[in-house]
Amino acid sequence: MKQKTTIFLFLICSAANLFSQPKKETYHFKEDINTSIEKDTVAWKYQSGAVSYSMSGYYQEALEAWDKNGATIPKITKEDSLYFKSFKPKNAKEYIINRSKSEQVVIINEAHNNSRHRVFTTSLLQELYNNGYCYLGIEALSDSLINTTKFAIEKTGFYTKESQFANLIHEAIKIGFTLFNYEYTSEKRITGKEREIEQALNISKIIKANPNAKFLIYCGYDHLIEGVPRIKSWEKAMAGRLTEMTGINPFTIDQISSSERGQLKLNNPYIQMVNLDYPVIMINDNGETFNGKINNDTKIDCSIIHPITKYNNGRPNWLTLSGERKTYKIPNSIITEYPALVLAYRNNEFEQNGIPADIIEISDKNQIGNLILSKGDYKITIKNRQYNIVKEYLHQVK
């Protein structure tokens, strides 16, 4: 419980005060992030460090930093193991898309340090839209003009500065979704309970104004709990409050409990028990979905079990969106100073404080520097160790 309390204290605190960096840069070299974590003295320094790693494209490092907050080796009872084995794996994307046809509200969560959750949610967007979902509520969004500008910029939000979050927003708008923010807007500090109520109230207003529409809600952590929240002072989480306000029972999907950790020994045992190379949701013979232990009173509808990441030249395999995105190898001749930070911006977005579609650090001449990008035109920006731009050029991904 101590870890949970610390995590949510960090999330409520201003993200702008995460920790200082050598320069006011959004994206950093790994060494600088590591140094900042070591020098930091706040209780949540590993969570903030994990988010900063994630923001700059260091997926594995983000997982490892988050674990330093006191992660323990998870264990399941024999009873829970037998219960789990009564379920069979189904392709998570296929199950969600099929079930969404009979739902009006789908809520899916993320860990704010885990870009994989954003990529998986992105993979759902087109088919959810085909099934009638046209509104996307995003907790991390703070830009009321996003549906006009049509891409994320520095002021769109804090977590939305991460490439895969910005890609999610870009793809959703391109498909046709109307985006909206539902986070509380009060300038005064409010309690966790008040925050859950205001989030639900903001969503319910949009639903009541569009009673025949379908909604995808993207949230962080425990806001999707329909039953008893792990933070008792909430009394009910956003999803439970939303049901009270609208009478709609949302389809809630947890991505966190069965996602990989920084070390194999810290992984939920269910990941290894499934041992497949694609995300799954567990279903029993009665059509019921697995959502954790027996008699789980949080009442989340289902948990996605994400496989352990495989890497291609240091990049997570899921970044390709099952082949929809292409690999672009940075030519060795382009890099004149090492290490180098390479950022790829969609055409004309760099000049408008846009968010890079991908970021990599190339440490030396022997490293293969692969960007993973959707088809389109990009400005490639290369920074040296002092964060000075030393090279810019245009590249088309076909």
Average pLDDT over all residues of the chain? 93
Is the pLDDT score of 2 beyond 80? no
Is the pLDDT score of 4 beyond 80? no
pLDDT given at position 7: 47
Query: Which residue, among 112, 16, 18, 32, has the nearest Cα to 341 in the 3D structure?
Result: 32
pLDDT tens string 264-281: 999 999 999 999 999 999
Please check whether residue 271 lies inside any domain of the structure.
yes
Work out the average pLDDT over 326-332. 96
Lowest mean pLDDT: which of 34-43, 120-129, 180-189, 353-362? Answer: 180-189
Query: Which residue, among 235, 158, 227, has the nearest Cα to 196 in the 3D structure?
Result: 235
The total of other beta-carbon atoms located within 10 Å of residue 266's CB is: 16
* Higher-confidence position of 185 and 132: 132
Residue 386's pLDDT band, with cuts at 50, 70 and 90, is very high
Please check whether residue 73 lies inside any domain of the structure.
no
Query: What tokens appear for 121 in the block?
Result: 């949610």
Report how far residue 218's alpha carbon sits from residue 159's, in angstroms, rounded to the nearest whole number: 12
Contact indicator for 241, 203 with CB cutoff of 8 Å: no
Are 104 and 244 members of one domain? yes
Are 203 and 282 members of one domain? yes
The CA–CA distances, whole Å, from 174 to 52, 166, 379 equal 27, 12, 20
CATH number at residue 352: 2.60.40
Residue 21's pLDDT band, with cuts at 50, 70 and 90, is very low
Are 329 and 393 members of one domain? yes
Structural domain boundaries enclosing 56: 2-67
Domain boundary among 17, 39, 67: 67
Is the pLDDT score of 6 beyond 70? no
Give the rounded percent of residues in the chain with a pLDDT score beyond 90.
90
Is the pLDDT score of 15 beyond 80? no
Domains of the chain: total: 3
Please check whether residue 319 lies inside any domain of the structure.
no
Domain boundary among 44, 67, 90: 67
Are 295 and 337 members of one domain? no
* Higher-confidence position of 307 and 21: 307
pTM over 0.85: yes
Widest pairwise Cα distance in the chain: 61
pLDDT tens string 191-225: 999 999 999 999 999 999 999 999 999 999 999 99
